[in-house]
Structure 1
Amino acid sequence: MPTHETVETFMAAVESGDYIGAIERFYDPAASMQENNDPPRAGRDLLVEGERKVMGAFKSIVARRLAPPLIGAELVAIRWAFVFTPFEGPPFELDEIAFQTWRGERIVEEKFFYDPKQMGR
């Protein structure tokens, strides 16, 4: 079970825009991520590579938490808002829930729940 301090430190890294650093510091080497019902992606190196691609596709991405995290045993749920600003066109906001499974102080599995219609594409 992660400590509240660890989860807060993780969220602060995300809110500061250090998305790659957050993955490198808080995710297990074999961690997986899944977008809604898409197939999961596994392996921290692959997750970092995917994050770099997403970041490179936008002028900026700004994250903020919308509620305190829910922490229970090995499970953590965080409600986020992300504002994506494309290189061309208007920004859009994505309201999502990140549902995480932690083993100790590392995330081993994460699934994101959001309505893709928010992306306006």
Structure 2
Amino acid sequence: MMTLKEKLDDLNDMILKGQILESMDKYYHPDCVVMEKNDVVATGLQEAKNREAEIFKGVEAWLKSEIIATAVGENVTMTEWHYEYKHRDFGHKKFDQVAVQHWKDEKIIRDRFYALY
């Protein structure tokens, strides 16, 4: 069985390779909740995947995904990211984000994003 650190490293590696929806199938709990700052933006795996797919529709060029730091605790993982991309509607975007995942039954039950735009 993989440790939580191994799962986080694999999850982040998949994200870096652009396999975001595949990583969600592999690691997200069917009953997951996704939060952006203080708002619930998706409930359940399918809604979370639909939301991700919608976000990426307008991306014209992905310029950078960089991991700044990671942390692993008891049933919790965190990754600090730096992203840069060109979006059809929003132009050239650069931002930093911290993703905090809470794990249950070996899967991510809650994923919360704290971002500086």
TM-score bracket, shorter-length normalisation: 0.7 to 0.9
What is residue 38 of structure 2 aligned with on the other side? 37
Give the whole-Å Cα distance in 2 for the aligned partners of 1:23 and 1:5: 16
Matches within 5 A, 1:1-121: 2-61=3-62, 62-67=64-69, 69-87=70-88, 90-115=91-116, 118=117
Task: Name the Cα RMSD after superposition.
Answer: 1.9
Give the whole-Å Cα distance in 1 for the aligned partners of 2:111 and 2:54: 18
For structure 1, list consecutive stretches of 5 or more residues without a partner in the other structure. none
TM-score between the two structures when normalised by the length of structure 1? 0.85
Identical pairs, percent: 17
Superposition deviation, residue 60 in structure 1: 3.1
Superposition deviation, residue 88 in structure 1: 6.5
Judging by fraction of residues, say which structure has more strand: 2
Superposition deviation, residue 105 in structure 1: 2.6
Partners of 2:33 and 2:42 within 8 A in 1? yes
Partners of 1:97 and 1:112 within 8 A in 2? yes
Superposition deviation, residue 104 in structure 1: 4.0
For structure 2, list consecutive stretches of 5 or more residues without a partner in the other structure. none
Partners of 1:36 and 1:114 within 8 A in 2? yes
C-alpha offsets along residues 26-77 of structure 1, whole Å, 9 cap, x if unaligned?
100111111011234210000111111001021134422111x110110111
Give the whole-Å Cα distance in 1 for the aligned partners of 2:3 and 2:108: 9
Taking a change above 3 Å as real, the CA distance of residues 104 and 63 of structure 1, as seen in their structure-2 partners, is farther
Secondary structure in structure 1 of the residue aligned to 2:40: coil
Q: Match for 1:63: what amino acid?
A: S
Q: How many residues align?
A: 115
Give the whole-Å Cα distance in 2 for the aligned partners of 1:19 and 1:50: 12
